[in-house]
Amino acid sequence: MLSSVLQEYGFVEKNVSAIPFGTGLINHTWKVITDEKAYILQRINDAVFKNPPDIAHNIRLLADHLAKHHPDYLFVSPVMATNGNDMVFIPGEGYFRLFPFIKGSHTVDAVHTAVQAYEAARQFGRFTKNIAGIRIEDCKTTIPGFHDLTLRHHQFDDALKIGNKARISGLNEVIRIVSAHTDILDVYEKIKTDPAFRLRIMHHDTKISNVLFDENNKGLCVIDLDTIMPGYFISDAGDMLRTYLSAANEEESDFDKMEVREDVYRAIWQGYMEEMQDELSDTEKKHFFYAGLFMVYMQALRFLTDYLNDDMYYGEKYPGHNLVRAKNQLALLVKLREKKKMWC
Ligand code: GN1
Ligand code: MG
């Protein structure tokens, strides 16, 4: 399968190898090494991204804008196939893209220090700032309703009605915890109609492994551009808070290990604001902490919904995996909420 993809890029089989790469849940990723260069190859999950050419459209839109207005900004665009396309479609296999591997760059899988959080937040802020001049209407929505908490709530309610009965019956306590947090949904409903909140082109997947660092551990740029689409800043700020605050991540099954680090919180704020200060309204800035609640809560709902729907979206690596992840996120949510008075 990979060899037919690589041929489309003009690679000769005997000089190229491909090994699985990264920990993403949705797309398949490989590192491809040729005699001269290294690349990242991705197969787009078209059950999730229903129209992959929309992804290519958005990346092209951003690449053109950045080349014109911010020529020094590092933006990793896909390598063209020999036929000049940004993507390769192999019938029966799906859509593939190849990115150059940026020499001297590396990624990190977890935030160990506040400095890393600062660097990453700066990169995501810079990204949004540099593309602020693009008309939002020109950017496609690659996953409709992706970070729409109202929709995620409906999907959860539906799963409670029509999902796996045996699984639902054991969940009374978890459902009680979820319903104790519905005020997060109420705030989101207000945000959607508040003119102080702008739709911008957001990244929507701001985990630290989506930032490239240089040899001196300075942030270089952001990667993983599939979920670029119109959204609110709370998606990007929130997913940084969700995934950086705790050293233990969403896979941790010992929930006592979930923590919220104040120095990391301050570092995310500082790095993000250094770039986004003049972009965000005062009302938006006041919702920075809320952004964390919003994303952690939504991720808890998404994992729980998937558990009730027999893991059709995320899959599971062991029985009950998505339930563990949902409980993990609820534990993080409770710990984060406790900080509101102290941090805000
Ligand atoms: C998915 O595939 P990955 O790991 O980059 C998901 C994110 C979730 C994340 C949870 C398209 O991202 O929204 O936050 O899993 N992406 C999609 O680990 O659903
Ligand atoms: Mg991703």
Indicate which CATH number applies to the domain containing 181: 3.90.1200.10
pLDDT at 156 over 90: yes
pLDDT given for residue 24 in this prediction: 80
Same domain, 94 and 232: no
Same domain, 74 and 130: no
Domain that holds residue 13: 2-100
Within a domain: 171: yes
Same domain, 49 and 172: no
3-state secondary structure of 75: coil
User: 225 with 300: CB under 8 angstroms?
Assistant: no
Residue nearest to ligand 1 atom 7, measured at CA:
205
pLDDT at 13 over 80: no
Distance CA 293, CA 52 (A): 30
**Distance in Å, CA 165 to ligand 2 centroid:** 31
**Last residue within a domain, chosen from 100, 122, 142:** 100
- What does each C-alpha distance from 232 to 16, 171, 172, 219, 239 come to in angstroms? 41, 32, 32, 23, 12
Instruction: From 210, 194, 202, select the one nearest 147 (Cα to Cα).
Output: 202
**CATH number, domain containing residue 73:** 3.30.200.20
pLDDT given for residue 187 in this prediction: 98
User: 343 with 261: CB under 8 angstroms?
Assistant: no
**Last residue within a domain, chosen from 70, 100, 130:** 100
Probe ligand 1: pick from 21, 25, 203, max atoms within 8 Å of CB? 25
User: 131 with 65: CB under 8 angstroms?
Assistant: yes
Q: What is the torsional sign of CA 321, 146, 162, 292?
A: positive
pLDDT band at 36, cuts 50/70/90? confident
Within a domain: 109: no
User: 290 with 187: CB under 8 angstroms?
Assistant: yes
**Last residue within a domain, chosen from 53, 78, 100:** 100
Q: 25: Cβ below 6 Å to ligand 1?
A: yes
Distance CA 330, CA 293 (A): 10
Q: 299: Cβ below 6 Å to ligand 1?
A: yes
pLDDT at 3 over 90: no
pLDDT band at 65, cuts 50/70/90? very high
DSSP string, 98-127: EEEPPTT-B--SS--SHHHHHHHHHHHHHH
**Distance in Å, CA 271 to ligand 1 centroid:** 23
Q: 58: Cβ below 6 Å to ligand 1?
A: no
pLDDT at 23 over 90: no
Mean pLDDT, residues 133-137: 98
**Residue 339, both tokens:** 């900080």
Residue 79: count of CB within 10 angstroms of its CB: 16
Same domain, 155 and 87: no
Within a domain: 73: yes
Total domains in the chain come to 2
Within a domain: 6: yes
**Distance in Å, CA 299 to ligand 2 centroid:** 13
Distance CA 244, CA 111 (A): 6
Same domain, 72 and 204: no
231, HSE (Cβ side, Cα atoms, 13 Å):
26
**Distance in Å, CA 14 to ligand 1 centroid:** 34
Residue nearest to ligand 1 atom 5, measured at CA:
24
Ligand 1 atom with least separation from CA of 303? 10
Give the pLDDT confidence of 287-314 residue by residue, as tens digits: 999 999 999 999 999 999 999 999 999 9
Q: 329: Cβ below 6 Å to ligand 1?
A: no
pLDDT at 332 over 90: yes
3-state secondary structure of 245: coil
Low-confidence winner among 25-29, 162-166, 257-261, 332-336 (lowest mean pLDDT): 25-29
- Ligand closest to Cα of 28 equals 1
Distance CA 126, CA 271 (A): 9
Same domain, 48 and 135: no
Distance CA 88, CA 67 (A): 24
pLDDT given for residue 90 in this prediction: 93
Residue 68: count of CB within 10 angstroms of its CB: 9
Distance CA 249, CA 262 (A): 16
Ligand 1 atom with least separation from CA of 25? 2
Q: Which helix (H) or strand (E) holds 322?
A: helix 321-338
Q: 142: Cβ below 6 Å to ligand 1?
A: no
Residue nearest to ligand 1 atom 18, measured at CA:
25
Q: 227: Cβ below 6 Å to ligand 1?
A: yes
Query: Which residues, in sequence order, are bridge partners of residue 41?
Result: 30, 98
Same domain, 188 and 325: yes
Low-confidence winner among 76-85, 119-128, 236-245 (lowest mean pLDDT): 76-85
Ligand 1 atom with least separation from CA of 314? 15
**Distance in Å, CA 224 to ligand 2 centroid:** 6
